[in-house]
Amino acid sequence: MSFCRVLISAELKTLSALHVGSGVEKEQGKESYSTLYLDFNKKPYLPASSLRGVLASAVPYFFKNENENKVRQCFFGNSHFDDSKEEGILRVFDATLESLPSFKDKVNTLEQGTILRTSISINPILGVAEEHHLFSLEIVPEGAVFKLEMSLESLNKEVTEENIKQFCGLLFACWDGKQFATVGAGRSKGFGLVKLENLKVRYLTTDALAQWLKDGQPHELNKSYKDWQYPTAELDILKKQGYIVEITLVPKTKFLLNDPAFVIKKEEKEDDEPDLAFSRLSDGRAFIPATALRGWVRGRVRKILLTIGEEKVENCLTSLFGDTNHRGVLFFSDLISEGNDVSEKQIFNAVDRFTGGVADGALYTVEAVQCKGLTGSVAIHHLSKHDSISNAEKGPLLLVARDSLEDEFSISNAGKGLLLLVARDLLEGELTLGWGKSRGFGNFEVVFKMNGEEIKHIHELVRIFQRNDIEQWINAIKL
């Protein structure tokens, strides 16, 4: 059976903070922030171009080489591949906001219900906040729902059942709620994780259209569509998007990663309201932003490279973590509490550095949290043949290497050696995150989970990867 038009609707639910930047900067008090796209109702939306781009870039991961160009040209056109400039059958529309989550705790929101996420760069040498490196993003919080609408149609060809099954399969594979199911900026930093829900497909046959043209009313065309009842065919997936390692942080102490969204303005603050408050989700569970763990790992890799005397440190870091022009291969997710969190407010008073006494007017309150554990993941993303690695190739360690058998990229021996050393430091209890590290806050034990097996000690990694391989990886760093 063939169709002249197919309507596809679904919901995209955010599982983490999402930011699709409009390129416009606004000011909030003394701070500026990067804004989201807003519609005429001042509600955030997801631009069709961003959604289409994510789907198009996912095609190489889910279709065999002989089908990749065929599928890409069918849905997205082929103007980028040859001179025929034939259009694709896919039409994508902006995804409008359906709902925002309600927060358990008091939170500062903008007029449109979005939140400012404030971050700061950490000096990799000193381990303290960099001066003038504070930046803020307007985000849609986790739990928001967007309405997704697309269609398959063309003026010069009909849509087939195979097209519908392929495209629905691509949607589910691309936005399955797992590590790489993302939209927008900061994809490797835990931003933009989404899940496709409530997919509905309706189709219009050529015969039904002809019948409506013959005796139907203009407003009755919608009645000529029928619901698609056939199951979605599973895709013949050639390549996995990456290798995922689950990671659990077990707090040995209370911890505090400050979220200004939960710090009430001074003029509205009550006596017991904190000046620093821990990051949390809409349901009140604590979480550690992916940027915090990513920053610690990046700093540790940098320290290792400097220790061995590597000259082109920044190029090596770009290979793993990317930069503004190139995507890295390491993807981090937020680390979310397993529940039963216990928050604790504590009052501090700064000490005058000259007199050694209490500083006048420097009393402040912090709200830290304790929990059983926080779970997330770290993944190695396999770059497709369409991804650029020009900066990576400049790195003397060649952290990203070509695998000629599958025509994709993977971590080289030197890269594996670096990551293994970082994993050793994590397992040995070197991880401290957040505010108050010198006051005993933010110390964590780390547990990895690989292929269903928990790893709590470095000797377990040695057993899994075998000593000969590990020696080869470590030696590769020194070359």
Residue 404 pLDDT: 38
Q: What percent of the chain has pLDDT over 90?
A: 28
In this predicted structure, the answer to whether residue 406 has a pLDDT above a threshold of 50 is: no
Q: How far apart are CA 397 and CA 406, in angstroms?
A: 22
Strands 31-36 and 129-139: parallel
In this predicted structure, the answer to whether residue 396 has a pLDDT above a threshold of 50 is: no
Nearest to 277 by CA among 289, 264, 259: 259
Q: How far apart are CA 55 and CA 65, in angstroms?
A: 17
DSSP 8-state assignment for residue 176: B
Mean pLDDT, range 337-366, rounded to an integer: 80
Residue given tokens 């360690």 in the structure block: 397
Q: How far apart are CA 452 and CA 392, in angstroms?
A: 32
More confident residue, 465 or 298: 298
Mean pLDDT, range 180-195, rounded to an integer: 87
DSSP track, 332-383: E--EEE-S--EEEEEEEEEEPTTTSSEEEEEEEEEEEEE-S-EEEEEEEEPP
**Residue 240: alpha-carbon gap to chain centroid:** 17
Distances from the Cα of 166 to the Cα of 88, 169, 234, 472, angstroms: 14, 5, 8, 42
> What is the pLDDT of the chain when averaged over all its residues?
81
In this predicted structure, the answer to whether residue 196 has a pLDDT above a threshold of 50 is: yes
Q: 97 phi and psi, to 5 degrees?
A: -75, 130
Strand partners, 408: 403
- Cβ atoms of residues 417 and 474 within 8 Å: yes
Confidence label for 297 from pLDDT (cuts 50, 70 and 90): very high
Distances from the Cα of 291 to the Cα of 133, 137, 294, 298, 441, angstroms: 14, 13, 5, 10, 18
Residue 232 pLDDT: 61
DSSP H or E run through 54: helix 48-62
Residue 240 pLDDT: 59
* pLDDT tens string 323-332: 777 777 888 9
Confidence label for 136 from pLDDT (cuts 50, 70 and 90): confident
Q: What percent of the chain has pLDDT over 70?
A: 81
Q: Which amino acid is at 87?
A: E
Residue 279 pLDDT: 93
In this predicted structure, the answer to whether residue 268 has a pLDDT above a threshold of 70 is: no
Residue 30 pLDDT: 65
DSSP track, 182-219: B-SS-GGGT--BEEEEEEEEEEE-HHHHHHHHHH--GG
Q: How far apart are CA 143 and CA 56, in angstroms?
A: 25
Distances from the Cα of 49 to the Cα of 54, 92, 461, angstroms: 9, 8, 43
Q: 385 phi and psi, to 5 degrees?
A: -70, -15
Residue 152 pLDDT: 92
Question: Which residues, at least 6 apart from 452, have a Cβ–Cβ distance to it below 8 Å?
Answer: none
pTM for this structure? Answer: 0.84
DSSP track, 288-331: E-HHHHHHHHHHHHHHHHHHTT-S-HHHHHHHHHB-SSSB-SEE
* pLDDT tens string 92-126: 999 999 999 988 888 888 888 888 887 666 555 55
Q: How far apart are CA 52 and CA 183, in angstroms?
A: 10
Handedness of CA 402, 405, 411, 412 (dihedral sign): negative
**Where does 388-465 have alpha helices with state H?**
390-394, 413-427, 458-465
DSSP H or E run through 155: none
The residue ranges of every structural domain in the chain are 2-102+141-227, 241-257+282-339+372-478
Mean pLDDT, range 225-244, rounded to an integer: 66
Strands 276-277 and 358-370: parallel
**3-state DSSP helix/strand/coil % of the chain, to nearest 5:** 30, 35, 35
Confidence label for 296 from pLDDT (cuts 50, 70 and 90): very high
Question: Which residues, at least 6 apart from 366, have a Cβ–Cβ distance to it below 8 Å?
Answer: 256, 274, 275, 276, 277, 345, 346, 348, 435, 436
More confident residue, 316 or 170: 170
Roughly what angle, to the nearest 10 degrees, separates helices 161-174 and 48-62? 100
End-to-end Cα spacing for the chain: 61
* Coil, helix or strand at residue 162: helix
* pLDDT tens string 150-164: 999 887 778 888 888
Residue 27 pLDDT: 74
Residue 229 pLDDT: 77
In this predicted structure, the answer to whether residue 274 has a pLDDT above a threshold of 80 is: yes
